């Protein structure tokens, strides 16, 4: 006879305690790895999107995976760490200059903006409204705005801790990326094995589709944003617009959010016309029209290269994911929508489509008297 008696087939207390224990273990594991989740998620997105490039480098470097991983890590440093360092340096320098300029503008006098009258239909109304604002005390307008410079500086100092946390996540992203590059096949096999254990063939298809969606977003959204922001930054630099680096980064963020480069380029064009530089203002206007519409050609081609998914689905996932999860949502949103889209249609195709039930059989229609 066994030392331990056989438990009953249905033991409610045993099931409840098992569920509680499993829940506690899951929460504890999540609590332990929580500081690394964001960095690991970014590393997964980057590695999946750039995996074909790693394979090409490995083929060029005599089949040595270690050399290819080293090259890819250096490229990630150049693409992430160096621009962030330049951006932080630019923000620090420009913010100090802006604060000192704001402190000196006690007797600031706004311009008359007479060029507003040349705008068709609404120009005269805008000019009259601006003149009314000046007559009501335009010199005191800056005095009302000036206290906010101090509040802005205080807020920037309070956000310094977030900058350190962001740099920590970037460092973790580089470390995890190097490890995933080196052991990518083993990790992919384990993930697919887990997905098959959960959903059999559908689970495996969902994992493959998620990888394709990430590459589609990386190609169609991120690459398009890089192209537009670089071209827009070149136009700003040649036009003589100050703070070109900061504006280019802001343009890149606007392109990622699917707003396009025009929210940055249009104020620059207005500023050039305002300062009397009509030649460069016209050149930048034409260049902005090209840069603002080039995504309509580049993005669909790149998205189709990454995955055969509707472009509207990808763009909806990008915008919704960005609003819901932040920058990492640019990849999470399209993956969730793409996997749900494919699984839904796979489930619907398990039965044949219905016949045209809206057709009317005229033979059964009673004759009208």
Walk along the chain (369 residues) in steps of 10 and give the mean pLDDT of each run.
58 87 95 91 88 93 92 88 69 59 54 64 71 60 55 58 72 92 92 89 85 83 89 92 84 84 91 86 92 87 78 84 80 83 81 68 51
Q: What is the pLDDT of residue 296?
A: 85
> Is residue 123 situated within a structural domain?
no
Q: What is the pLDDT of residue 369?
A: 46
Considering 159, 182, 205, which residue would you say is the last residue of a domain?
182
Q: What is the pLDDT of residue 237?
A: 92
Check whether residue 202 and residue 337 sit in a common domain.
Answer: yes
Check whether residue 228 and residue 241 sit in a common domain.
Answer: yes
Considering 135, 155, 182, which residue would you say is the last residue of a domain?
182
The two structure tokens encoding residue 278 = 């009509």
> Is residue 334 situated within a structural domain?
yes
Backbone torsions φ then ψ of 8, nearest 5 degrees: -65, 160
Considering 160, 182, 204, which residue would you say is the last residue of a domain?
182
**Helical residues (DSSP H) of the chain, grouped into ranges:** 12-60, 65-76, 82-104, 123-135, 141-145, 147-158, 160-182, 184-217, 223-239, 244-256, 262-274, 278-293, 295-306, 311-325, 329-348
Check whether residue 198 and residue 177 sit in a common domain.
Answer: no
Residue pointed to by tokens 């959204």? 221
Check whether residue 198 and residue 338 sit in a common domain.
Answer: yes
> Is residue 365 situated within a structural domain?
no
> Is residue 362 situated within a structural domain?
no
d(CA 304, CA 220): 8
Q: What is the pLDDT of residue 242?
A: 85
Check whether residue 174 and residue 308 sit in a common domain.
Answer: no
Check whether residue 239 and residue 163 sit in a common domain.
Answer: no
Degrees, nearest 5: CA angle 111-113-115: 150
Q: What is the pLDDT of residue 74?
A: 93
Q: In Å, what is the CA distance from 160 to each residue of 27, 100, 166, 189, 301? A: 30, 20, 10, 40, 40
Check whether residue 97 and residue 156 sit in a common domain.
Answer: yes
Number of compact structural domains in the chain: 2
Check whether residue 52 and residue 197 sit in a common domain.
Answer: no
d(CA 46, CA 33): 20
56-103 residue pLDDT tens: 999 999 999 999 999 999 998 887 777 766 666 666 666 555 555 555
Three-state DSSP class for 117? helix
> Is residue 189 situated within a structural domain?
yes
Residue pointed to by tokens 């790895």? 33
Please give the residue range of the domain that contains residue 314: 184-349
332-343 residue pLDDT tens: 888 888 888 888
Check whether residue 49 and residue 71 sit in a common domain.
Answer: yes
Q: What is the pLDDT of residue 146?
A: 55
Q: Which of 75, 79, 83 is nearest to 246 (CA)?
A: 83
The two structure tokens encoding residue 75 = 């490229």
> Is residue 298 situated within a structural domain?
yes
> Is residue 290 situated within a structural domain?
yes
> Is residue 114 situated within a structural domain?
no
Q: Are 316 and 213 in contact (CB under 8 A)?
A: no
Check whether residue 192 and residue 337 sit in a common domain.
Answer: yes
Check whether residue 233 and residue 339 sit in a common domain.
Answer: yes
Check whether residue 170 and residue 219 sit in a common domain.
Answer: no
Q: What is the pLDDT of residue 358?
A: 56
């Amino acid at each position: 006879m066994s030392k331990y008696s056989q438990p009953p087939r249905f033991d409610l207390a045993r099931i409840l305690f098992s569920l509680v224990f499993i829940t506690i273990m899951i929460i504890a594991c999540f609590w332990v790895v929580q500081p690394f989740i964001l960095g690991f998620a970014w590393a997964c997105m980057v590695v999946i999107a750039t995996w074909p490039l790693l394979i090409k480098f490995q083929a060029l470097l005599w089949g040595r995976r270690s050399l290819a991983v080293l090259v890819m890590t250096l490229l990630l440093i150049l693409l992430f760490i160096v621009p962030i360092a330049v951006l932080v340096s630019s923000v620090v320098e420009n913010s100090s200059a802006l604060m000192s300029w704001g402190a000196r503008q006690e007797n600031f006098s706004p311009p008359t903006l007479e060029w507003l009258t040349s705008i068709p239909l609404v120009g005269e109304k805008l000019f009259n409204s601006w003149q009314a604002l000046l007559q009501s005390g335009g010199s005191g307008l800056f005095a009302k705005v000036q206290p906010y410079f101090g509040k802005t500086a205080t807020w920037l100092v309070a956000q310094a801790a977030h900058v350190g946390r962001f740099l920590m996540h970037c460092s973790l992203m580089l470390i995890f990326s190097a490890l995933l590059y080196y052991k990518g096949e083993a990790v992919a096999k384990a993930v697919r094995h887990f997905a098959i254990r959960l959903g059999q063939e559908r689970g495996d298809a969902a994992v493959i589709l998620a990888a394709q969606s990430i590459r589609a977003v990386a190609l169609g959204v991120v690459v398009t944003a890089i192209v537009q922001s670089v071209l827009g930054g070149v136009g700003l630099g040649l036009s003589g617009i100050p703070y070109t680096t900061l504006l280019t980064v802001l343009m890149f963020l606007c392109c990622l959010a699917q707003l396009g480069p025009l929210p940055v380029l249009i104020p620059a064009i207005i500023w050039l016309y305002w300062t009397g530089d009509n030649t460069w203002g016209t050149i930048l206007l034409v260049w902005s029209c090209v840069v603002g519409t080039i995504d309509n050609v580049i993005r669909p081609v790149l998205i189709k290269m990454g995955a055969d998914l509707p472009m509207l689905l990808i763009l909806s996932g990008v915008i919704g994911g960005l609003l819901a999860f932040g920058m990492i949502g640019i990849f999470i949103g399209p993956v969730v929508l793409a996997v749900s889209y494919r699984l839904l249609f796979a489930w619907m195709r398990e039965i044949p489509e219905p016949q045209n039930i809206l057709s009317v059989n005229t033979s059964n229609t009673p004759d009208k008297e």
